[in-house]
Structure 1
Amino acid sequence: MNKLVPLTLLGAFALQLSAKPPITQGETDPVMLDLDPYMIEALRGGVEGTDDTIPPGRFGSEGSLIDLLEEPTFRKLIKKHDLKLFNGPMVGAVTSSSARFWVRTAGEAEFKVVIGELSSEAVKTTASSDFTGVVTVEGLNPLTEYEYTVVLDGKVIADETYRFQTYPEKGTKERYSVAFGACSRYVPVHEGIWRTMAGTEPLAYLGLGDNVYIDATERRDVQRLHYYRRMLREEYREFIAGTAMYAVWDDHDIGANDCAGGPGLEKPWKLPNLEVFQQNWNNPFYSHDPKVPGTWHNFTVGDVEFFMLDGRFYRTDRKDKTDTSNTMLGEEQKLWLLESLRKSTATFKVLCSGTMWHDLADKGGADSWAGKHYKAERDEIFDFINAQKIDGVVLLAGDRHRTDLWKTERADGYPLYEFLSAKVTNIHTHNTRKQAEWSYNIGNFWGELDFDFSTDDPTITFKAINQDGEVVRATTLELSHLSHKL
């Protein structure tokens, strides 16, 4: 089981936490013991100091796996640990009849995924995509568990963790769960939580930002480093091989603490950082319009539709006095959300945000939807739900290192319940909030949404589950209580 870190060990981390360099203490994974120090030194220039104060690693600020593979010593480590499949496979974009698979190879290669008699197309990974590729297998049956293999340059790669479950079809009276979380800095002694989470067998995992802690706005070498090291860790590698992954970013993985992209694409780091993000996830798509890039997307699991929102790429930059946009999402993403909500036929609609919705969930609302720049946009979304009589809406949030249930009463509609969970692997803890319906912050944890369509009044249950797999708090909501017909 993934136990809490002793206080003595926490003290050893204190200096590092203030600067947010990579945490390496307590590492036991054989692959990471060899590769992690090598990659940190090569791509970041060492452990000490912050990413804003240390010079780039020996490949410059755009360093990547391409450069690492030029070094004989690194290639020997790849061979020692049989890592031609360097990262992945990662399952994503699952439906009731198909699934997509992402991999990163250690150099140019061709791969495909095979499920029984079904096979994906063959795809070549190249340096231009940081040796990543995505393939799709179609013709699957709903709510069925499948085993798969990866065929890499003709060699079959199999593992007992290479299994996943397709989604139920809409209208079926089934029960299923989806996990979510945020604030998942790579902490060696906490990484076992991914194996614990996998044991609960969620159909999907929603990463609500701060999925890796990068804090390096202008350093693609550091951004890539943090993705490489997280996906090399055994427990996480097992988890993503069998659980459909979806992700948006928040401040620590788009740039630095409390950062905002502002309107437009003029800032030189925005598109390069987005490209790194896209190369490391398996989302169904990245924004609804290529002319307005971002990380937002939506998808359905049976009778539940999830709206994964990007609250950073076009967010009003409070540090820029010329930015008067007053938005969290940007106009195009907001309109996409409202129109998608209006058209949705799902029983439950889940709005997923990297930051909190409730007025009292953040430190004065400075970096959340309650802030003065963003509250009007939040209220516009809430008012739209009322005006269009959209039932079954709940809210998810990340950012604060605790797990809460919040309730926002509305004069002209049903209450909006917000489930916050944001301390999957992090060490630092935020205080509980007495204003919440309930608030919990002990140890590490993730959130789980259990959906039950087997009754006449479908339910959604929010569970807070700790690092030992124990349900520490739970609340169930009935669809009839999330309706304008009350």
Structure 2
Amino acid sequence: MPPDLVDHAHPRDPRLSRRLLLQAGGVTAATLALGVNAPDAEAEPLAADPFTLGVAAGSPSDHGMVLWTRLAPEPLAADGHGGMPREDVTVRWEVAADEDFRTVVKRGSALAQPALAHSVHPQVTGLEPATTYWYRFRVADRTSPVGRFRTLPAAGTEPEEFTFASASCQAWYHGHFTAHRHLADETDLDLVIFLGDYIYEYGIVDGYNLWRQGAAVTEPEEIETETLEQYRLRYARFKADPHLQAAHARAAWVFTWDDHEVENGYAAQHSNDGIPTDLFVHRIAVAYRAFYENLPVSIDLLPEGPRTMLYDSYDVGSLARLMLIDGRQYRDRPPTAGDRDDPKRTMLGETQERWLHEKLQDSTARWNVIGNAVSFIPVRPTTGLESWDGYPAARKRLITSLDGVSNPVVLTGDIHRAVAAEVPADPADPDGPRVAVELICSSIASDGDGAETDGYADDWLRHPYVHFYHARRGYLLTKITPERLTASYVCVDWIEEDDTAPRRVAARFATPDGTSRLDQIEGAS
């Protein structure tokens, strides 16, 4: 990395940060801590079910997990408070070694507070590695649905296999979450990796972008999200979907984001729609705040104003290292005609680039997986400015970091299509050696039904390193063993009409240990 590459896309002004934190309805450290661990106390009975948004688990380790729920008896209340009174409520949680909770191994309490939209994020520790657990929450006489998760394998151990799904882009209004229904039924699933666009900020308008048949929205949902209340309402709309709730309850999730969690096409603190920076940073602050409130993420992700630390890594024993990167918070603006090849341009920012380089070079894992929001391989150098095509110098630096790394794999979302590709070591030499594989999952719902192919297929398939392109909705199911990686592209043929489309596998590929090669497995469907 050039020594003069500076993190200029992410200015740090503590005065601005404190002011924005207060504008966003600031949360003190003490308030935040009570949402994780609080003294036990009896809650007052609630007149309606508070667990309408389900339960979730995330931020896994080999000894612990973050649990999540948000109390919302009226999840679509326009004020963003889910029908809850403006007072604290004690939430009790339990983790058990069996689904019937005969053997409870951990229990505790957290305080659901109005300042955090009555969400709780208890951090459970002291669990056994590579072990399946069940969890639930209670408020007075109300009990939540049951979720389950599996802790990661212990450091230094190499499991025989590890299976994860990757998913992205779930525009609820474009169709039913049929893919999540099938994801929740996967029998072998250790983890879900979500690669961005968990919500969409656009106003939802019948006759324009509301393609999910049989659905209707409230008037406050018809305008684009800008305030904390509006982002909370948008998460509630998406999370009220029973198939998404079932997928969360099936396994632990980890996350990166792309743009629609804030605004389409934004870069660092620059609005794609021309919103002045002093106003846009407030929108970022409330959007990041709602992201924390509505997902099973660590306490460390509560933003300080318009900034938070999202990128992170997870070790699956010695079998795999998973690195999730943040391609929005630090990136330069999309290039103009004259500066695309500027060597100082960055997608990740200097600090994150250095962190990722060190994580890759220090890894002793057999497989090294990078969770990334936008396509990495060269596709459309003159028009793909939102992807790594718009940041070729940053891509070259990352390719250099992959040199000598065991079995690099890039997981990607964003494009609403499924793609399997080999990453060329030199983007200028498409027929040359490969340095990694890239596995791009389709969308859960964005762009509606999709098709077997479409008008963008030639842009991708003209490259010799692209082996598969498919435009239906679905997710990617990946199994890694010491010997190989197997990637199955799961899809459904329709989502707009209803949620009954069957599960099928459009294609399946294997990458043998020690290669950056994709071998298609016949008979995948």
- Normalising by structure 1, what TM-score? 0.73
Deviation, structure 1 residue 156: 5.8
Q: Which amino acid aligns with 2:419?
A: D
Q: What's 1:330 paired with?
A: 349
Q: What's 1:184 paired with?
A: 170
1:427 aligns with 2:447: yes
Q: Which runs of 5+ in 1 are unaligned?
A: 1-60, 64-77
Backbone CA RMSD of aligned residues: 3.3
Q: What's 2:209 paired with?
A: none
Q: What's 1:392 paired with?
A: 407
Secondary structure of the equivalent of 2:238?
helix
Provide the rounded CA distance (Å) in 1 between the counterparts of 2:415 and 2:382: 10
Describe the superposition over 1:293-315 as per-residue Cα deviations: whole angstroms up to 9, x where unpaired.
24222212332221111111121
Given that 2:388 and 2:395 are in contact with CA atoms closer than 8 Å, whether structure 1 keeps it comes out as yes
Aligned counterpart in structure 2 of residue 377 of structure 1, from 394, 405, 415: 394
Distance 1:445 1:226, change over 3 A: same
Q: Which moved more, 1:85-94 or 1:425-434?
A: 425-434
Given that 1:110 and 1:152 are in contact with CA atoms closer than 8 Å, whether structure 2 keeps it comes out as yes
How many residues are paired up?
A: 396
Q: Which amino acid aligns with 2:487?
A: F
Given that 2:91 and 2:111 are in contact with CA atoms closer than 8 Å, whether structure 1 keeps it comes out as yes
Deviation, structure 1 residue 249: 1.5
1:206 aligns with 2:186: no
Q: What's 2:365 paired with?
A: 346
Deviation, structure 1 residue 218: 3.2
1:259 aligns with 2:266: yes
Describe the superposition over 1:258-313 as per-residue Cα deviations: whole angstroms up to 9, x where unpaired.
221248x9633333322221222223475799796242222123322211111111
Distance 1:375 1:322, change over 3 A: closer
Provide the rounded CA distance (Å) in 2 between the counterparts of 1:402 and 1:314: 26
Aligned counterpart in structure 1 of residue 125 of structure 2, from 138, 150, 153: 138
Describe the superposition over 1:381-430 as per-residue Cα deviations: whole angstroms up to 9, x where unpaired.
111222xx222211111111110011122269752211111311123546
Q: What's 1:365 paired with?
A: 384
Q: What's 2:236 paired with?
A: 228
Q: What's 1:111 paired with?
A: 91
Provide the rounded CA distance (Å) in 2 between the counterparts of 1:188 and 1:399: 15
Provide the rounded CA distance (Å) in 2 between the counterparts of 1:301 and 1:285: 22
Deviation, structure 1 residue 211: 1.6
Deviation, structure 1 residue 85: 2.3
Aligned residues with identical type, % of pairs: 20
Given that 1:184 and 1:211 are in contact with CA atoms closer than 8 Å, whether structure 2 keeps it comes out as yes
Q: Which runs of 5+ in 2 are unaligned?
A: 1-22, 26-45, 73-83, 97-102, 203-223, 271-276, 427-431, 493-501, 518-525
Secondary structure of the equivalent of 1:269?
helix
Aligned counterpart in structure 1 of residue 374 of structure 2, from 345, 348, 355: 355
Q: Which amino acid aligns with 1:404?
A: V
Q: What's 2:329 paired with?
A: 313
Q: What's 1:41 paired with?
A: none
Describe the superposition over 1:338-358 as per-residue Cα deviations: whole angstroms up to 9, x where unpaired.
122222222211111110101
Given that 1:112 and 1:119 are in contact with CA atoms closer than 8 Å, whether structure 2 keeps it comes out as no
1:174 aligns with 2:160: yes
Distance 1:285 1:206, change over 3 A: farther
Q: Which amino acid aligns with 2:297?
A: N
Query: 1:151-170 to 2 correspondence within 5 Å?
Result: 151-153=138-140, 155=141, 157=143, 159=145, 161-169=146-154, 170=156
Q: What's 2:56 paired with?
A: 90
Distance 1:198 1:301, change over 3 A: farther
- Normalising by structure 2, what TM-score? 0.68
Given that 1:212 and 1:253 are in contact with CA atoms closer than 8 Å, whether structure 2 keeps it comes out as yes
Describe the superposition over 1:90-113 as per-residue Cα deviations: whole angstroms up to 9, x where unpaired.
111223332221111133321232
Provide the rounded CA distance (Å) in 2 between the counterparts of 1:150 and 1:217: 30
Aligned counterpart in structure 2 of residue 403 of structure 1, from 418, 424, 444: 418
Deviation, structure 1 residue 123: 0.9
Query: 1:436-455 to 2 correspondence within 5 Å?
Result: 437-453=466-482
Provide the rounded CA distance (Å) in 2 between the counterparts of 1:327 and 1:236: 34
Provide the rounded CA distance (Å) in 1 between the counterparts of 2:248 and 2:173: 17
Describe the superposition over 1:348-383 as per-residue Cα deviations: whole angstroms up to 9, x where unpaired.
111111101011168732111111xx2101111111
